[in-house]
Chains A and B, each alone.
Chain A
Amino acid sequence: MNNEQSNLSSIRQAFGDTLYNLASINPNIYVVNADLKGSLFLDKFAAKYPRRFIECGVAENNAAGVAAGLSKTGKTVFLTSFACFSPSINWAVIKQSICYNNANVKIVGSHAGLLSTDLGATHQMLEDVALMRSLPNMEVFAPLDALETEKIVSVLAYTPTPAYLRLVRPPTPLLFDRNLNFTIGKSHVLQKGDYATILGYGPVLLELFKLTDLSLEIVNCSSIKPLDEKTILKSVSKTGRLLVLEDHQKNGGLGEAVASLILSSGIKTKFAHLAVNNSFGQSAKDAQPLYDYYGLGLKNIINTLRNLL
């Protein structure tokens, strides 16, 4: 763990830089982009590897289909856009052309969640995890910080199956250090505790480290699908209290996946799910008022935890 949390780093940039570095060793890495090269920090990739950077314009359906076809010629294809367009507009293409055809395509959706702030409801993608975790053959990942992004991208580049990678817009604190080891289907216990288990993914978890009064077991579920059932059940068995926190809709999110897991396991636990509850986002200059308004802020987290008695 890196304790210097003031150290901000961009998850999006970590994605673009990592892909650029991997491309020099792996000539089969291609990008299929839908006019958001700059936003995903792919300018360097496009300049150095113009033949491996395929620009589709604002046409996410075609981009997903081209990515699938291209992958079947032996390429590892990263399909890049904002999450509100891909995997949103092109869900049916992802289902058929990518998942049903088991294509080696990584859908990279940036600007997910309320963290898209001033762009407002249309650009705050709050349904992507639901859309992607429902698809057979699709795996779903959401990094907590820039370093975890680097690790996940490096693993996905050598995993020849469909995957979705959820990225956020603003620079966020670095939590991990270089020794982090990412494995598909493994969660990390970020902090051990006895009072309650908190599960989640992405930078919304970072606020939790300010809650020093409570003994919280914080588990990073960056591998949303497949889930690390063993780690989750072990922690919940110990604490008997579970809060799932996500910058996403309640409907179809991680909370529902975990609730289903816990109920099936027979483990008895108190349960709360903090997520956007069946409403659209809205603009704000920074994340704080949005997290407070939608119940993801510290105050509501503390109240919810206290009520889990």
Chain B
Amino acid sequence: MFLSDNFQNLIKLSPSLRSDVLDMVYQSGGGHIGGSLSSLDLIIAVYFSGLFNLKQDRFILSAGHLCPALYVVLAKAGYFDKKLLSTYSSFGSVLQGHASAAVPGINYSSGSLGQGLSFAAGLALGNSQSSVICLTSDGEHQEGQVWEAAMFANKYHLGNLINLVDSNHYQIDGSIDDIMPLNDLAAKYVQFGWTVTTVDGHDFGQIINALKKAKNSKYPNCIIANTILGKGVSFMQYDYHYHDIKNLDERLYLRAKKELENQ
């Protein structure tokens, strides 16, 4: 793990891990690429900022379909061999199509949306000395259980709980505003008794500052990170058809690869 008060190394790391996500999804024949590219910088910040001791603190991926982003980060952090990445969602691979606790470094098996924040709240309650960072998606907030967990975290003053929201404004069938608007998510969390910070989810300075502030808080913290679906690949950005892809065309793959190499 590298420490970074100056987060230049994270900025450098980002496109190379983005490229790993692209490779694994291409080589394995498909996967949830759009949200993985939008959430990647958030996961990088959790694992490589040096803010958290992940032997004791816990990262929970509630939006389990974003596992490609987590897998590349865990491989980079040395939890398992990077060669495994190309086996993603293949028969016999530990790298399931949705995050599985069988993978070294993963604490919670997920995939059915809306459940992770409750699990994270239980962890935070049971071990008040540890920080628990839960990554949710914005679309996931359509699940009622998220709001049950939000009430709970407020009641039990879970100041060691951080909900890091990958807010890319899209879900599988279209834009969140079309499918089921969340309106002012920040205001909702404030109303539920949380401390809320809104950041640019691709600006490491903002993400790390928000995490730092959230770590030393009396109240549960929600960091709403505005991100870009398919971040880094021009033709994937803002296009919900890239939520989940099958058999990416080789020409498109090479184009995406080139774009990422030039970043």
Contacts and interface: CB of A to CB of B under 8 A. Distances in A.
Interface of A: 32, 54, 56-57, 59, 61-75, 92-93, 95-97, 100-101
B53 interface: no
B131 interface: no
Given A56-B152, A59-B148, A66 B112 contact: no
A62 B145 contact: yes
Contacts of B109: 96, 100-101
B118 A65 contact: yes
A62 B125 contact: no
Given A61-B145, A70-B122, A93-B118, 14 more contacts: A59-B145, A61-B118, A62-B145, A62-B149, A65-B117, A68-B122, A69-B120, A72-B107, A72-B123, A73-B126, A74-B126, A75-B126, A95-B112, A96-B109
A69 B112 CA distance: 16
A287 B152 CA distance: 38
B110 interface: yes
27 contacts: A54-B125, A56-B152, A59-B148, A61-B114, A61-B144, A62-B118, A62-B145, A62-B148, A62-B151, A65-B115, A66-B122, A67-B122, A69-B120, A69-B121, A70-B126, A72-B126, A73-B126, A92-B112, A96-B110, A96-B111, A96-B112, A96-B115, A100-B109, A101-B101, A101-B108, A101-B109, A101-B119
Interface string B165-200: 000000000000000000000000000000000000
B135 to A, nearest CB: 15
Interface of B: 101, 107-112, 114-127, 144-145, 148-149, 151-152, 156
B136 to A, nearest CB: 13
A127 B120 CA distance: 29
Which 5 pairs from chain A and chain B are nearest by CB? Answer: A69-B122, A65-B118, A73-B126, A62-B148, A59-B148
Contacts of A56: 148, 152
B123 A73 contact: yes
A68 B119 contact: yes
A125 B120 CA distance: 30
Nearest to A57: B151
Contacts of A32: 122
A69 B110 CA distance: 13
B126 A61 contact: no
Given A72-B107, A96-B110, A65 B121 contact: yes
Contacts of B118: 61-66, 68-69, 93, 97
Contacts of A68: 118-119, 122
Contacts of B119: 65-66, 68-69, 72, 97, 101
Contacts of A96: 109-112, 115
A72 B127 CA distance: 10
Contacts of A75: 126
A17 to B, nearest CB: 25
Contacts of B108: 97, 101
A93 B127 CA distance: 22
Nearest to B116: A65
Contacts of A59: 145, 148, 151-152
Contacts of B127: 73
Contacts of A93: 112, 115, 118, 145
A57 B151 CA distance: 10
A52 B120 CA distance: 17
A72 B58 CA distance: 11
Given A70-B126, A97-B115, A65 B107 contact: no
A61 B112 contact: no
A65 B122 contact: yes
B210 to A, nearest CB: 23
Contacts of B120: 69
Contacts of A57: 151
Contacts of A69: 118-126
Contacts of B152: 56, 59, 62, 66
Interface core residue of B118, B123, B144, B149 (most chain A CB under 10 Å): B118
Contacts of A92: 112, 115
A182 B205 CA distance: 59
Contacts of B125: 54, 66, 69-70
B45 to A, nearest CB: 23
A151 to B, nearest CB: 28
